[in-house]
Structure 1
């Protein structure tokens, strides 16, 4: 288990203040990590909805309806459904490697802009999806957006800490 502690033996007092700008920067930076947890909760709930399964994954829905036992084990063993779920995470991983080069060359601003635009496009595509291909492409765009945004997010943490403690 990872852990750590910082022990300070000096009595040095910092003159930094907690302003509304610093508080907002900290909230925005820390909320970036919530995207993954929120996605896990939402996609897990959506993939178990009957209306969603019936429209996009009819074979999984038929198998679920045929099995009347209370066990949920192996009801969702569709490779296509697994691709739908994992496509966001794989795309975020790959995009974070690309985003590091973009951030190094062009800066955090462009990295965050690319992340925001692709995340918005992925959200729109998922909202308008009429087939599984659109769903998966939308999830890939969401993953690219998360990968780019998470590349620049740790720098906001550092900035907010430096701003509070000069």
Structure 2
């Protein structure tokens, strides 16, 4: 992947952007640009976990028993609404949380939104580590989705404010 950047000085009297590219601006743009890594990481982790025998045996035994049938190809054959709810709950919660996070960010600032997102994300991680049944797993995914929704909204707003508009 190629990455490039160009900064041009505005012509005198043109009224263009007169700011500088400082280390803070570069760091902010890097953090904002890497906000989507959380979603990509979760895709990789949840996809791998939902195919692990030990996970399926503990939380989704009907999917595990179907997977053990050697006469059926298991490629995209997990026919469980509950497993689908488990997987998609993070993304639905993230979508809804992003809508609320924009109001929180506008009213209280990015720092408060990042603290809320981080706190909810840590709570979701704790529930995930302590999960012993499917409702706890779903609560875990919903909390992680809320945390990701808040933090991604904040990093994208930071990207628009710092890197895009020059504010």
Give the deviation of 1:128 after TM superposition.
Answer: 1.4
Q: State the match for 1:16 in structure 2.
A: 20
- Taking a change above 3 Å as real, the CA distance of residues 162 and 77 of structure 1, as seen in their structure-2 partners, is closer
Q: Which runs of 4+ in 1 moved over 6 A?
A: none
Cα deviations by residue, 1:86-127 (Å, 9 ceiling, x for unpaired) = 000010111111112212221211111111100111011101
CA distance in 2, matches of 1:49, 1:134: 18
CA distance in 2, matches of 1:90, 1:15: 39
- Taking a change above 3 Å as real, the CA distance of residues 138 and 26 of structure 1, as seen in their structure-2 partners, is same
CA RMSD of aligned residues (A): 2.3
> SS in structure 2 opposite 1:66?
coil
> SS in structure 1 opposite 2:62?
helix
CA distance in 1, matches of 2:156, 2:42: 20
Q: State the match for 2:48 in structure 1.
A: 45
Question: How many pairs were matched up?
Answer: 154
The reply to whether residue 138 of structure 1 matches residue 140 of structure 2 is: yes
* TM-score, normalised by the number of residues in structure 1: 0.82
- Taking a change above 3 Å as real, the CA distance of residues 115 and 73 of structure 1, as seen in their structure-2 partners, is closer
* TM-score, normalised by the number of residues in structure 2: 0.81
The equivalent position to 1:33 in structure 2, one of 21, 31, 36, is 36
